Structure 1
Amino acid sequence: MLPDGYLLHPLTAADAAALAAAAVRNREHLRPWEPSRPEAFFTEAGQREVVDGRLRQVELDLFDCSVLWHGDDVVGAANLQNIVRGAMLGADLGYWVDVAHLRRGLGVALVEHLVQRGRDLGLHRLGASTMVANEPSQSVLRRCGFAEVGRIPAFLYLDGDWRDSILFNLVLHDGPPRG
């Protein structure tokens, strides 16, 4: 559940300017956990491209994205990505919280939202990965019921180097796929 004053809504094309402002505000905060970004990423035009790409993936049922607002500011996002149907029925999740809004329970609220979205979409499992050093994110995942299932060496190229990641998994149900 989100604290008072915060709203979560599906990503729209109109979010690009606020996302660009959030990217600029959080550039250093998120740098260790994300791939290197071109300068255009931090502009409204660059965010418009990102949003357009994500909305195309939403149309293809490969992506589900919600944006966290506090007043007129985007202060986070929650994504289900790499959605797979068929025998797997799974997705990977990702989320971030604005540096000025940490330690308010927002990470847990965003992951709980993603778990519910996964259930709503009829998914069987959700996966997540964190860099080894990202202990706060690992704590959020554990609080939301995710189990650590392993470690992959040199999994992602982030912050200028190949980084090990810790993998997490959450089984949403054991029933057969919904028709």
Structure 2
Amino acid sequence: MVTSLAHTPHGRQYLAQQGVIDKISNIIVGAESDPFSGFYLPGFVKFFGNLAIVDSPQQICERYPVFMEKVFEMAESHDPTMIGVAVDTLGILGSNVEGKQAIANQPWAQKLMLDTPGFVEYVVDRSVEPDKASKDAKYELVKALVNSKTIAEIFGNQYYLRLRAYLREGPYYVKAVSTTAVEGAE
């Protein structure tokens, strides 16, 4: 019922004014110590997932970071119900560009990217992508990473500078190679 209320701008405003969204966030924080959290936690996580889609994924993830932490905690759980809800919520969040960028801006997501062997090398390699759409998508990812507040701290100076150079040069940059013709050379 609260989720359907959150689908309208007036409903979201009412929920925010009454402190309902903050209360739900606090309940999620306290769910660790509640043995009955398995009954209400899936609904609350779905609520935040839907709220992020109708409002702004970036704002919801920044304002309620416990939501994203709980989603990934649920994804690593052994409870099939929790895993299903977490995957559904991530699917909902990742269904639009802003949602993907909100996930990319999370410090834990950046750490996972950095921990993936060859990630930075792949992202800055323009020769890998065969078409314009792929190059543009990779450029948008680099742009989201570089514009993140935590990227320099997590990736370190060396990788941060490589990503900034890629962003500055653009997705279609080709390094110029000069050759000199010499008379009599074969």
Superposition TM-score, scaled by structure 2 size: 0.31
Question: Larger strand proportion, structure 1 or 2?
Answer: 1
Question: Larger helix proportion, structure 1 or 2?
Answer: 2
Larger Rg: 2
Q: Say which structure, 1 or 2, has more relative contact order (CA 8 Å, 6+ apart).
A: 1
